[in-house]
Structure 1
Amino acid sequence: MTQAALAPGGFDEFEMHQVLKRGCAAVGLDSSEARLLRGHTNAVIHLVKEHVVVKIARKGSRIDDVARTVRFVRWLMDAGFPTVSLHPVDQPVGVGQHALTFWEYLPQPSDPVPAAQLAKPLYSLHTLPASPEALPAHDNLAAIRRSLKSITCLSDEALAFLNGSTEQLESALHVVQFELPEGVIQGDPQHRNALHTASGGAVLCDWDTVAIGQPEWDLVTVEVHCRRFGHGSQHYEAFANTYGWDVTRWSGYQTLAAIRELRMITTNARKVSDAPTSLQEVERRVEGLRCHDRALRWNIL
């Protein structure tokens, strides 16, 4: 298996290869030429001979949750929604403690999908009728607390700061008044969770975090990614203009943006044991929060 770059994520390369081989054999796909595209959370692998992408969920991912995601995406496909398509095989496939899913491969240029092209798919998602799947409720604070309990790489002082910030933000969230109707949200919309299409458009991908929640969470996530990862204010402004609603002009923006950033930091801190080289960046982000530096540019992990 060739590897695009070092992509830590808790996967042992030999085990990953064996899981891939067994999973592909179960659905009649050739895994002899495979290329690792991403491996930070799930292993995302391109089967070069098949023009298929295989996604191997981390150990501990519930196959029932993965199956729910597959059913949800099939519903999106039937509705003509702009999503990356599932490969037409019976899935997910369970191999040991891993669940595998199979997707259409879309060749990608070097540049990620611009924020403006996320706007129409997200608006369509937020205004969909009720999903036939019983989706989980979106809860950033619960995810932050789960991560905080697992973090071993940070000092006691840093952990106390992060825990204190979580408590303060929970109190602030209680008084936030949402403006948009609750509905289906993607949960982590960003430039790398969308794909270019051959026609020049874009489709959403990576549905692991799909949930029922407030669209404001999706919109603030796009803004945070534009601001923190160097895409620039013009990218976000183009997104907001296309979507038709600017989350930064809403009274709850500061609270949601702070919660979203805290979740991103604590998630990466929890994964440092699998990616030791990320520790310096995690510590730099924590220090940026302590200094209230909202303009600090983050490096992608």
Structure 2
Amino acid sequence: MTAPAPTHGGYEATELHEVLHRACTAVGLNSTDARLLRGHTNAVIALAEAPVVVKIARRGTPPSNVARTVQFVEWLMSRDFPTAPLHPVKQPVIIDRHTTTFWTYLPQPSYPVTAEQLAKPLRVLHNLPKAPIDLPVHDNIRAIRKSLDAATSLTSEAREYLSDRAKRLDEELGKVRFDLPATTIQGDPQHRNALHSADGRAVLCDWDTVAYGQPEWDLVTVEVHCRRFGYGKIHYRAFADAYGRDITNWAGYRVLRDIRELRMITTNARKTSHTPGSSSEVMRRVQGLIEGDSDLQWSIL
């Protein structure tokens, strides 16, 4: 496999090569000359000998969570939902406590999916009947606290500030009145969690965060990504118009926005042991929160 050692994300190339080889062999695929696409939460690898993408989860990722994702995507595919499709093999495959899945490779142009293109599949997702899979309940505050407990790179002052902020926002969340009915949500809809399909549609991918919850969380996530990562108001407006709802006009927007941004910061703080170069960006984001700068541009980690 063509990848440096260690790869981005902290995976050791030798170990990754071995896990990839054994997982591919188990389902009749060839891993020769595979190419690392991404190595943050999961190692995402494109095979050279077949149009397949392999996702290798870190040790410690519960296999049951990955199996649930596979079952959910199989259900989406049975409904012809616009999702990145699974490769038709029995999966997941567990190698040395790494849970591995296989996906159909979709060649991508040089430009990402736009926020406007995210609107249609998200609206369809939010209107699907309840999935016949036991999905977790979406809980950002719980995820924030879990990440804070696991983060090792934060200063004591930053940790205290983020903890206090989470406590205050949890109290404010209890007063929010949601307008939309709870449903299946993607959990992290954004430009990098969607792909162009061969027929020109946008399809959603990376279903690790799928959950049962309020669709307002998905809508505010798109808004945060447009604002924080430089896509701009026009880009977001096209999404809101296409979806049919502008989350920024809703009374609960500020609370959900602040919680979603806090989760993004604390999640990246937890992952700095795998991506040590990200610590300065995490602290820059924290300082922006302290200063109340809601338009500070963030760098992608």
What TM-score comes out, normalization by structure 2 length?
A: 0.98
CA contact (8 A) 2:54 2:100 kept: yes
Deviation at 1:59, TM superposition (A): 0.8
Output aligned runs, 1:99-178, within 5 Å: 99-178=99-178
**One-letter code of the match for 1:244?**
G
String of CA shifts for 1:146-173, please: whole Å, max 9, x gaps: 0100111111111110001000100100
Instruction: Give the match for residue 213 of structure 2.
Output: 213
Instruction: Give the match for residue 294 of structure 1.
Output: 294
Deviation at 1:8, TM superposition (A): 2.6
CA contact (8 A) 1:72 1:133 kept: yes
Output aligned runs, 1:41-56, within 5 Å: 41-56=41-56
CA contact (8 A) 2:5 2:13 kept: no
**One-letter code of the match for 1:184?**
T
Instruction: Give the match for residue 189 of structure 1.
Output: 189
**One-letter code of the match for 1:79?**
R
**One-letter code of the match for 1:234?**
I
Percent of pairs identical after alignment? 62
Distance 1:190 1:68 in 2: 21
String of CA shifts for 1:125-156, please: whole Å, max 9, x gaps: 00000100010000000000001001111111
Q: Secondary structure at the match of 2:272?
A: coil
Listed as ranges, the gaps of 5+ residues in structure 1 are none
Distance 2:89 2:175 in 1: 47
Deviation at 1:110, TM superposition (A): 1.8
Distance 1:2 1:263 in 2: 33
Instruction: Give the match for residue 85 of structure 2.
Output: 85
CA contact (8 A) 2:6 2:13 kept: no
Deviation at 1:68, TM superposition (A): 0.9
Distance 1:290 1:49 in 2: 50
Distance 2:226 2:28 in 1: 41
**One-letter code of the match for 1:221?**
T
Distance 1:38 1:80, change over 3 A: same
String of CA shifts for 1:243-276, please: whole Å, max 9, x gaps: 0111110000000000000000001111111111
Distance 2:7 2:298 in 1: 18
Deviation at 1:5, TM superposition (A): 11
What TM-score comes out, normalization by structure 1 length?
A: 0.98
Instruction: Give the match for residue 75 of structure 2.
Output: 75
Q: Number of aligned pairs?
A: 301
Instruction: Give the match for residue 273 of structure 2.
Output: 273
String of CA shifts for 1:79-105, please: whole Å, max 9, x gaps: 010001000000000111111000000
1:37 and 2:37 aligned: yes
Distance 2:9 2:147 in 1: 15
Deviation at 1:294, TM superposition (A): 0.4
**One-letter code of the match for 2:184?**
V
Q: Secondary structure at the match of 1:206?
A: coil
Instruction: Give the match for residue 237 of structure 1.
Output: 237
CA contact (8 A) 1:178 1:214 kept: yes
CA contact (8 A) 1:7 1:38 kept: no
Deviation at 1:3, TM superposition (A): 3.6
CA contact (8 A) 2:172 2:255 kept: yes
Deviation at 1:9, TM superposition (A): 2.1
CA contact (8 A) 1:229 1:300 kept: yes
CA contact (8 A) 2:3 2:13 kept: no
Instruction: Give the match for residue 257 of structure 2.
Output: 257
Instruction: Give the match for residue 9 of structure 2.
Output: 9
Listed as ranges, the gaps of 5+ residues in structure 2 are none
Q: Secondary structure at the match of 1:21?
A: helix
String of CA shifts for 1:213-269, please: whole Å, max 9, x gaps: 000000000000000000111111000100011111000000000000000000111
Distance 1:10 1:99 in 2: 17
